[in-house]
Structure 1
């Protein structure tokens, strides 16, 4: 009884704590005195020369070595404001300074589109730098990382802060130089890949990164939530595991409902008994489900998933003879991203393309694991409130909402809801034609590449020329987005999250007259072709209009046949009959179903994130232990001491021929080889365990507990085994004046390595699939009884 009461009180306390920690708008009263002091100090700083300004920032470093106190914060903001005015011809608003100060307190700040997040982030990064800390500013892609680093460079230089950036094309020397700067910009994936590459170094001189300290994350909700479960992978060359063109050809002939079935969420597909017979006969009358043909069964399942669940121009596009995945949260190509090898090869076989290289996974790290390495994490985005709970749960981060510099006067109209997609799109095109005649610029937000091209084609047929921005032409995105506010412009785009470019009324090169002309027409009009699976993406799209007090408007055209509704609220129906054009006039019931579908979608994605992290958290812990040992081997003589103790006779023999430096190097190479190889084998083992863990669910065992039990048992003997294998190699390998010849001893490292991101399996985990089938069977039984 006492235990039940304690548990109840704990739950109440937890809920009360979450209530207290809900994000709220920053109380400007506590900053009123600070902002007044900054303005007073700013008048004195304005009289300094550039050299004196830099010297003043240098003096601040001496005072801020142990952190910035209230006076130090005032000094930093005054110097930063003046540096921005001189270097960028921009005087930061008070709200930008408040945003920078909240970042310096380790928060995720929500600042609306056009409110100057980039400059606020730069001032915060400089603030950390003057405290002697190293800052990695994580962007969502290479373009934004380089743009922001070059754009903010004048501010950093005036403050005496060094800045660099890394991108996909950077050489090891350029990377090393960039990471030695006080502030380093880079795409989160590129920074993660550098971590993985460093983990394969056998000489400390080859390392490029410095120890992680402060991570300042741009588009924090996208990086920390949407991509948190995406594993970044370092692979090594092996024999290619290619997709089977024969299997792909057979699967192409299968028909849904007859040869295979899909679940109601369209996240899994499986052969019917009839379909299995067709496939078995086509493969030479084999028994797919016997142990002798497990490899063909895996190939068939992968080919079926590629055929039935992945759509070209929705989940991926084909360009230059290669399959390119589409980042669903941004509507653009996911560079270097792929599905796990079997599924990737199946999609390539489906499209009759040459298979890409595959190989063994040498190491991997999730984005969440990568960010978790840093001592301090902060971030900024336009939409953080909706994910405040996840940020608190997974990162212990709090959200601060920064009020806009000028009130938002954008008019957000109620949804216009239709009965079918066809009628919705007809009404949407008619609305665009009508608004276009007035000259008002229009931004149309679509769900995917296929829809963006379909809408653009319909607009052309209606006599309206438009510019399309999607994964097929994302290289031109900055120019397209920048001109979306020009007079009479019509821009059709996939998701706008992370586009990183403001839309100025009148266009990028327009003057004040152009701005005022468009403002008089009502500003940028944003039209959405439906609701996204996340309310944050809706808000990202709306937020492109009404920047800095400009007029603007937005509206969502939705239907009860939209994919979001069909997938997550299949029981949806309206509370009234539609009008002649298919529109439901102020139908509260239809609106509630659409909102319900979006909430369910958000809940599903949160469950996937939470479930994935439960599996990967243990792996991250084991990786930390292995890396701590690896770092000791790489930087000290630990390997030499251990091998000398394990094989004293052989060590003495080698010591007579080699000097201490060479002998230490030999020991290090041997131990690192076996450590890296054993860790790679461990990852492969864990992958196999998770792939078959659904069998535990059917046996009424808890999958996560069984996974942990297997993972811990396998890991327990790794370092001991590495020591034994290293001792055997020391005894048997040829070791001369030039060191150890590992290849002759049959210990060859991969001849090539490459990095990529594994797209989180677009289907449910095997455990969830198995349980879903059990539930479906129970529903059928229940329905039969009733």
Structure 2
């Protein structure tokens, strides 16, 4: 910690006095810059190290100045005072809010260098491989100037390459890659096989997305075992069901239920007497419900793509293909069956961890994003993090127009096309934010019908992301993109090289159009933030219809009646207030989902820490042999002739096998409990209390069984100079494992109702 940390912590990291003191330090840094710039490279690097010799920064002002001079010398980037202020707040452990285009990449890297010079290993957590690789390469000259090793962990690296990468002082890596490596390390039986070197600090880019929106998304390590497969017969039977007659969908479109008529139709098609008989309720009914979910709630080109005979999920919060993401096995199989594809192998979950639990493993967490203020409560509640708002380097010139409200989706979408055409006719660049692939392609086609050239950025072509985004500010450019959050590339007026900057600025800068409101205003603000970069002019506007999901869900069946003009537009203040109310309601729903899910996950996360500690003891000490010898002294005596290291490793492998197996069984049990725990409310029991009671009871049983089974194996299996022959007794770890994210993000709702007919969105 820097020397005056105690004062700011006492004040709370959000107070205005904090920012005044930050600015005072930054102002003092300016006085050091001219003198430091005269030092040669070796002296400048040495001075940075002298200022951090005791694990803290002795003179924050001079240190910021040193970092600024080094940045300019190695990268050609001279940080603005607001960037230096942001570095200071990150070093104090805050989440900083900086507007798009204000230079978060440099800020994060300067702060990471500061932590590393203080002797802390830093994981600079990104949202994808591209940003990890790009930023590590971009910032490498500055890091190496300071004598720091820097690396990037990406999906393509081999195990040995990953192991080496994690030893660097500063590691750029996607959050999923770190999580999956942590999960894989929880399966090793020799410490030398572990990949991740522990880090002291997680510096999180797009912090609100990682720490809040996706915090409770589980990362999963699975092993090859048969899963639940939905047969083609069931898929065919479900395909002919009709909504409202045979099944009903709840208001927030997250759950679907068979009606009595629907159940009878399915029973007739399958030739069974009742789906609810004991022989069917745990098998056939489960498969029917999975097939129905796939049929009614998951849509091609909205929730997933089909490419090369495989289903690829779409990350709704970022508009990209989620290469390592899948639904739970039964649902994945149901979607594959629905699309007529080969059903992929199921698997048994070996281990799982949420992003929130992953982040809580770090001793220190800080982060940066363009929209942190709206997530202040969650960041404080779940991570004890404070938010610091960093002002813009240049005053905001963007004009944010009031939302344009329409009675129907058809009228709204027609107005969107008209508005884009009008803006394009002047040469002003337009960026349109849509909510899914199908909507982006329908809009692109509607614009093409008017002879307007369009660049489309969605999950089908996200490999071209950097080029498309970089060119979005050029003269006459129209770019249609699904979800701009975390794209990581600035949109410069006048194109990637800024050649036509002044011409575009005279036209009003980049115009941003949102085709619907998101379920949280943070995502709207992330899209708005693409315009008005670094004091440039800009324009933003959002189109809303009374049929949009956010309005229908937030209205809870109580729509208002409002007069519209001949084009379907509603101008009344009452309608505007109603739409704002609906969005607040959906935001409240998301908060409630997060809070409830957190309560269920927290106990398992705590239990997981106990498992981690147990594994550490077994891996790093002779604890396994000591415990087994105490419980089976005769067997230990029989094996005393073996080399101590051989016997220790044999005992270690036996105990770890049973600990890991029982933990996997515990996860499966608690998943089943979670699915049915709501039924406890019928018996006037509190579901969360019952869940905790069962989890504690089952965890105690896990611990007992793991030890008892290990003792039994120790006594029965062959142990010789080659070690423990676990395979001979059928104690086999899965020969194949894979990782994925369970897709259950409440932010994944589409802005335009998918039921209105995707093909007619912009007709």
Taking structure 1 as the reference length, the TM-score comes to 0.92
Deviations 1:542-587 (A, max 9, x none): 10000000011111121112221122215565564211111123x1
CA contact (8 A) 1:572 1:593 kept: no
2:302 equivalent in structure 1: 314
Q: Distance in 2 between matches of 1:686 and 1:563?
A: 32
Q: Distance in 2 between matches of 1:22 and 1:213?
A: 21
1:265 equivalent in structure 2: 252
CA contact (8 A) 2:227 2:348 kept: no
CA contact (8 A) 1:406 1:549 kept: yes
2:648 equivalent in structure 1: 664
2:141 equivalent in structure 1: 154
Q: Distance in 2 between matches of 1:257 and 1:173?
A: 55
The one of 430, 435, 438 aligned to 2:423: 435
* SS of alignment partner, residue 598 of structure 1: helix
2:378 equivalent in structure 1: 390
Residues 634-649 of structure 1: pairs in structure 2 closer than 5 A: 634-649=619-634
Q: Distance in 2 between matches of 1:602 and 1:232?
A: 24
CA contact (8 A) 1:572 1:590 kept: no
CA contact (8 A) 2:590 2:746 kept: no
What displacement does 1:264 show?
A: 2.3
1:521 equivalent in structure 2: 507
What displacement does 1:24 show?
A: 6.3
Residues 214-293 of structure 1: pairs in structure 2 closer than 5 A: 214-293=201-280
* SS of alignment partner, residue 280 of structure 2: helix
The one of 71, 80, 90 aligned to 1:103: 90
Deviations 1:681-707 (A, max 9, x none): 111111111111122112111111111
The one of 722, 725, 731 aligned to 1:738: 722
What displacement does 1:761 show?
A: 7.1
1:494 maps onto 2:482 in alignment: yes
What displacement does 1:430 show?
A: 1.1
CA contact (8 A) 2:227 2:330 kept: no
2:753 equivalent in structure 1: none
1:456 equivalent in structure 2: 444
What displacement does 1:718 show?
A: 2.5
Q: Distance in 1 between matches of 2:343 and 2:393?
A: 52
The one of 515, 519, 531 aligned to 2:517: 531
Deviations 1:38-84 (A, max 9, x none): 1222112211222222222232332x42x224x1x223211211111
1:610 maps onto 2:595 in alignment: yes
Q: Distance in 2 between matches of 1:260 and 1:761?
A: 23
1:551 equivalent in structure 2: 537
What displacement does 1:746 show?
A: 1.5
Deviations 1:366-415 (A, max 9, x none): 00000011111100000001110111111111100000001011011111
2:37 equivalent in structure 1: 46
Residue segments in structure 2 that go unaligned for 5+ positions in a row: 1-10, 749-763
Residues 527-606 of structure 1: pairs in structure 2 closer than 5 A: 527-571=513-557, 573=559, 576-585=562-571, 587-606=572-591
* SS of alignment partner, residue 393 of structure 1: helix
Q: Distance in 2 between matches of 1:25 and 1:544?
A: 27
Q: 1:634 to 1:651 in 2, by over 3 A?
A: same
The one of 482, 489, 511 aligned to 2:470: 482
2:20 equivalent in structure 1: 29
Q: Distance in 2 between matches of 1:505 and 1:566?
A: 37
The one of 623, 628, 653 aligned to 2:638: 653
The one of 124, 133, 136 aligned to 2:120: 133
Which of 614-623 and 723-732 deviates more?
Answer: 723-732
* SS of alignment partner, residue 494 of structure 2: coil
* SS of alignment partner, residue 716 of structure 1: helix
What displacement does 1:510 show?
A: 3.5
Residue segments in structure 1 that go unaligned for 5+ positions in a row: 1-19, 765-786
* SS of alignment partner, residue 243 of structure 2: coil
Q: Distance in 2 between matches of 1:561 and 1:21?
A: 43
1:632 equivalent in structure 2: 617
Deviations 1:311-330 (A, max 9, x none): 22222221222112222221
CA contact (8 A) 1:237 1:753 kept: yes
Q: Distance in 2 between matches of 1:572 and 1:282?
A: 38
What displacement does 1:202 show?
A: 0.3
What displacement does 1:450 show?
A: 1.3
Q: Distance in 2 between matches of 1:32 and 1:168?
A: 40
Q: Distance in 2 between matches of 1:644 and 1:377?
A: 42
CA contact (8 A) 1:57 1:160 kept: no
CA contact (8 A) 2:316 2:747 kept: no
1:14 equivalent in structure 2: none
* SS of alignment partner, residue 639 of structure 2: helix
Q: Distance in 1 between matches of 2:710 and 2:472?
A: 62
Q: Distance in 1 between matches of 2:21 and 2:585?
A: 38
Q: Distance in 1 between matches of 2:494 and 2:16?
A: 31
The one of 37, 43, 47 aligned to 1:56: 47
Q: 1:22 to 1:653 in 2, by over 3 A?
A: closer
Which of 203-212 and 668-677 deviates more?
Answer: 203-212
Could you say what the CA RMSD is over the residues aligned between the two structures, in angstroms?
Answer: 1.7
2:325 equivalent in structure 1: 337
CA contact (8 A) 2:13 2:94 kept: no
What displacement does 1:238 show?
A: 1.1
What displacement does 1:213 show?
A: 1.4
CA contact (8 A) 1:58 1:160 kept: no
1:123 maps onto 2:114 in alignment: no
What displacement does 1:285 show?
A: 2.7
Q: Distance in 2 between matches of 1:580 and 1:334?
A: 42
Q: 1:557 to 1:23 in 2, by over 3 A?
A: farther
Q: Distance in 2 between matches of 1:243 and 1:509?
A: 52
What displacement does 1:645 show?
A: 1.2
Q: Distance in 2 between matches of 1:322 and 1:762?
A: 24
Q: Distance in 1 between matches of 2:651 and 2:562?
A: 78
The one of 690, 702, 706 aligned to 1:706: 690
- Give the total of aligned pairs: 737
Q: 1:494 to 1:37 in 2, by over 3 A?
A: same
* SS of alignment partner, residue 51 of structure 2: helix
Which of 471-480 and 540-549 deviates more?
Answer: 471-480
Q: Distance in 1 between matches of 2:663 and 2:136?
A: 36
CA contact (8 A) 1:306 1:350 kept: yes
Q: Distance in 2 between matches of 1:114 and 1:412?
A: 17
Q: 1:412 to 1:763 in 2, by over 3 A?
A: closer
Q: Distance in 1 between matches of 2:245 and 2:466?
A: 47
What displacement does 1:486 show?
A: 0.6
The one of 76, 86, 111 aligned to 2:63: 76
Deviations 1:471-497 (A, max 9, x none): 111111111011000110000111111
The one of 293, 306, 331 aligned to 1:305: 293
* SS of alignment partner, residue 38 of structure 1: helix
Q: Distance in 2 between matches of 1:424 and 1:273?
A: 38
Q: 1:541 to 1:640 in 2, by over 3 A?
A: same
Q: Distance in 2 between matches of 1:638 and 1:290?
A: 49
The one of 739, 742, 747 aligned to 1:755: 739
Q: Distance in 2 between matches of 1:77 and 1:753?
A: 46
Q: Distance in 2 between matches of 1:133 and 1:543?
A: 33
Deviations 1:707-749 (A, max 9, x none): 1111101111323322211111111111121111101011111
What displacement does 1:243 show?
A: 2.4
Q: Distance in 2 between matches of 1:611 and 1:595?
A: 24
1:6 equivalent in structure 2: none
* SS of alignment partner, residue 85 of structure 2: helix
* SS of alignment partner, residue 693 of structure 1: helix
CA contact (8 A) 2:457 2:479 kept: yes
Deviations 1:310-360 (A, max 9, x none): 122222221222112222221222231111111111111111111122211
CA contact (8 A) 2:13 2:388 kept: no
